[in-house]
Amino acid sequence: MKRLALLSLVGIALAACSSKPTQAPAPAHGPFPSTISEALNSHFRTAGNEKRDQYRHPAETLEFFGLKPDMTVVEISPGAGWYAEILAPYLSTQGKYIAAAVPVSVYAGGQKFLDWTKSHPELESKITVVDFAPPKMVSIGEDNSADMVLTFRNVHNWTSSGGEKEAFKAFFKVLKPGGVLGVVEHRAGKNQKQDKKYKSGYVPEKEVIRMAEKAGFKLVAKSEINANPKDTKNYPKGVWTLPPSYAEGDKNRERYAEIGESDRMTLKFMKP
């Protein structure tokens, strides 16, 4: 009996040694990206969005603006979230991402951005969303609290609503002294006929500079990263004639696809 008991104890010990240690289940998602390059290739981006990198040059644009991972960044009117899918994950570990978004009741397309945040619960808690619809809804954060404000192809929307003055004032207020305002906008031709609200979507570069400087900003640099010399800017339905909107449907679609997305100014301002 003693011999059998001893053998049983040995068997239990051997079995314990041979069994693998219990491991915690792997997380559903990998770590947050630590570089812009990693953010561009992360699982947080919606499949297919990378096809527009050739027109929007996100890595070069964000590097030109001076984006760093420990910044507090406000993105103005993120729309469906194309840039948010890059910025929010990149800033999630060391910095802070704030989306100053047009309410869905005003712009239904913004629901896509909100749905994206909900599909990534590990990221959603790190994103702050505030309402922004100038000239009335312009409170986007505490004064002198942000390192950077970014806006991509939005200025024409504010001129259409008469809210451009209040918008730029809000950017100036929320930025810290030395903070950066980065602007990308559809660029009107020098001799292009325009109405004062720029309903074609194209805005003269000098006018954007004037708006920012009137609010107190100083222009520190320009870039031709997002220039497109193929853009003739004389389309039946304005800038939305071009991809990705193709406002005329299949009419002249191949021609517009060959042109690509619009010619864009890329301007870097600083709050003194």
Task: Give the per-residue pLDDT at 196.
Answer: 83
Per-residue pLDDT, 30: 53
Inside any domain, residue 235: no
The pLDDT score that the predictor gives to residue 3 is 43
Strand-pairing partners, residue 148, are: 73, 180
**134 phi, psi to nearest 5 deg:** -65, 150
143, 150, 177, 188 from 131: Cα distances, Å: 16, 16, 24, 29
Please report, for the domain that includes residue 169, its CATH number.
3.40.50.150
Q: Which residues contact 191 (CB under 8 A, 6 or more apart)?
A: none
| pLDDT of the residue at 31 | 83
Q: Which residues pair with 72 in a beta bridge?
A: 96
Tokens 């009107």 label which residue? 188
Q: Which residues contact 250 (CB under 8 A, 6 or more apart)?
A: none
CA 150 → CA 25, 100, 209, distances in Å? 38, 10, 15
What integer pLDDT is reported at residue 22 of this predicted model? 41
Q: Which residues have CB under 8 Å from 164's CB, separation 6+?
A: 134, 155, 158, 211
| pLDDT at residue 35 in the model | 97
State the pLDDT at residue 195: 84
Report if residue 250 sits inside a domain.
no
Count the domains in the chain. 1
Q: Which of 184, 30, 47 is nearest to 116 (CA)?
A: 47
**123: nearest Cα among 188, 45, 21:** 45
Could you give the 3-state DSSP secondary structure of residue 42? coil
Q: HEC profile for 182-194?
A: EEEEEECCCCCCC
Site of tokens 């999630």: 92
Q: Say if 151 falls within a structural domain.
A: yes
| pLDDT for res 28 | 41
Would residue 88 count as lying in a domain? Answer: yes
Tens of pLDDT along the chain (272 residues) come to: 444 443 343 344 444 444 434 433 334 445 899 999 999 999 999 999 999 999 999 999 999 999 999 999 999 999 999 999 999 999 999 999 999 999 999 889 899 999 999 999 999 999 999 999 999 999 999 999 999 999 999 999 999 999 999 999 999 999 999 999 999 999 999 888 888 899 999 999 999 999 999 999 999 999 999 999 999 999 999 999 999 999 999 999 999 999 999 999 999 999 99
Residue 38 CA to chain centroid, in angstroms? 15
Domain containing residue 206 = 30-229+264-270
Q: Is 232 exposed, middle or buried (0-12, 13-18, 19+ CB in 10 A)?
A: exposed
- Residue 79 belongs to some domain of the structure: yes
Tell whether 153 is covered by a domain. yes
pLDDT at res. 193: 83
- Tell me how far apart the alpha carbons of residues 58 and 225 are, in angstroms, rounded to a whole number: 9
* CA 149 – CA 171 distance, rounded (Å): 7
Q: Are 189 and 156 in contact (CB under 8 A)?
A: no
Predicted local confidence at residue 203, as pLDDT: 97
Residue 6 lies in a domain: no
